[in-house]
Chain A
């Protein structure tokens, strides 16, 4: 590793550790540890949400996908972005009003029971871990490719950092690392986009002409259908993308970090601006890569296209810019995995330890201690898993996370808030059917069953790589059938009305707290 790279990395590590040190002094209560005591402003939280959401797969993967497949790569971004409207309209404000630290709190505010909390905790925990492992594995590969650092060392550094942020700094450190990541990521991609345009004298037509010459697809590069040629697969993916975010626990728990619903709305709306602008810039970077580097150079370096942004940086700005972009990728990964660690920690230490094992009677000190230990164990175990999975392809887990979230958490959240007749049995069957359907469909699909390089060397039973179109309706159906076949619960219409009014206006909570 040369000195420029080293300085960039040290700079980021030192900055984030200073943030953690500052945050550690402020994370002395459970409220601060889990939610930063609602101290963030809407705009800060919007930046943190963007930092939590834009993974290395978005930054590097989408630029690469656009560079290789043109139009279809861009469609991924659209699904990710529009999903925030679903969050804003359907779940954001109710989640903030009904919950305290976790999604379990939200659902249990209507269906209070240990069983319900177990299910919600298992759902949140498994989604966070399923998402974290591929991020860690990808980080190992990425740093190896970019900096020639050994896979194990890369995973250990990233795993170690994410654990330190959460164990010592809790949500305060995690939020500020994510905010710093958003600032660095947005300024870096903006700078790179400007350099791309300047290479073509700010003439978009010249850039487009050069793109046509740089790709084997030629004129067809700008036409749809190079990545998604199976209509059902395409529609299924778009469905999972647009509904998935509203079920992602690590995004939804960020809604507890602001003090009121006005700030919740500001959080979501500012995150849509950041994410929207970011995806426009990834389009410029994708086109710039093809125009300036060409398809062949890109695929020679890495056939998946994931190195598009770093290679483009090297082409237009030499080693210095490459070091900067690599540092951005590094920050991107640590910010996302830290968000996932705190989400998994909350599910375990708040829902399972505090509410179920201790019956909600553990002291403030015990809760905080449990949270820190949980974060430490989750960080260590995930890092160990990622170290062991070096040779196994786990990238499918990323798309699976969206499917699981859209098929389990999303239906249960929406039906709990808006369906009067919904019952606890329905919520449990909905969660279980969504989770199980997603897992089974992925196992029976081409990610796992593949005669060439699958874990099971056989033809796939389900041909879809993204089985959201089957799994999501199963999640809803499970919730519906569980409800209509269970006896009407003791909860009266009146108590649902009170719950609904609280979820929509926050009125009873205000009365209770006053």
Chain B
């Protein structure tokens, strides 16, 4: 039973671990780019009137919402898998 559970958890984490690493990278690249690339960040981005610094800071908000949504979908699937497996076990 435990091996099967660990298999499910590992499979889920294979996806979630890279996502959280990417979130950290995306988040910490903002202060780092402001520290090390201030000139680039102060240039106007592809949206007229918006600099890269503002665009990057704004993007953190939809990033948070999107990543939360991805987690929710994945976690729901994981719960269903576990429930299905539990039902099979109890039969």
> Which A residues form the contact surface with B (CB < 8 A)?
71, 74-75, 78, 81-82, 84-86, 88-90, 93, 205, 208, 222-225, 231, 234-235, 238-239, 242, 261-262, 265-266, 268-269, 272-273, 276, 279-280, 494, 497-498, 500-501, 504-505, 507
**Which residue on A lies nearest to B26, using beta carbons?**
A82
Further contacts, 7 of them, CB under 8 A, given A71-B57, A266-B72, A505-B8: A78-B27, A82-B23, A82-B60, A85-B67, A231-B35, A242-B27, A265-B72
Given A235-B32, A504-B9, the answer on whether A82 and B64 have CB atoms closer than 8 Å is yes
Docked CA distance A86–B20 (Å):
8
Docked CA distance A279–B60 (Å):
12
The A interface is mostly helix, strand or loop, or mixed, namely helix
CB-based closest 5 A-B pairs: A231-B35, A269-B68, A89-B20, A276-B61, A501-B5
**A residues in contact with B5, CB < 8 Å:** 501, 504-505, 507
How many A-B residue contacts, CB cutoff 8 Å? 107
The B interface is mostly helix, strand or loop, or mixed, namely helix
Selected A-B contacts with CB under 8 Å, 30 pairs? A71-B54, A81-B64, A82-B23, A84-B64, A85-B67, A88-B71, A93-B75, A222-B51, A223-B42, A224-B34, A225-B34, A234-B31, A234-B35, A235-B28, A235-B31, A235-B35, A239-B28, A262-B79, A266-B72, A269-B69, A272-B65, A273-B65, A276-B64, A276-B65, A497-B6, A501-B2, A501-B9, A505-B9, A507-B82, A507-B86
Judging by beta carbons under 8 Å apart, are A84 and B53 in contact? no
Q: Which of B9, B16, B19, B68 has the most CB of A within 10 A?
A: B68
Docked CA distance A71–B58 (Å):
11
Number of interface residues of B (CB under 8 A): 39
Docked CA distance A497–B10 (Å):
12
Judging by beta carbons under 8 Å apart, are A85 and B31 in contact? no
A226 to chain B, nearest CB (A): 12
Judging by beta carbons under 8 Å apart, are B57 and A78 in contact? yes
**Which residue on A lies nearest to B76, using beta carbons?**
A262
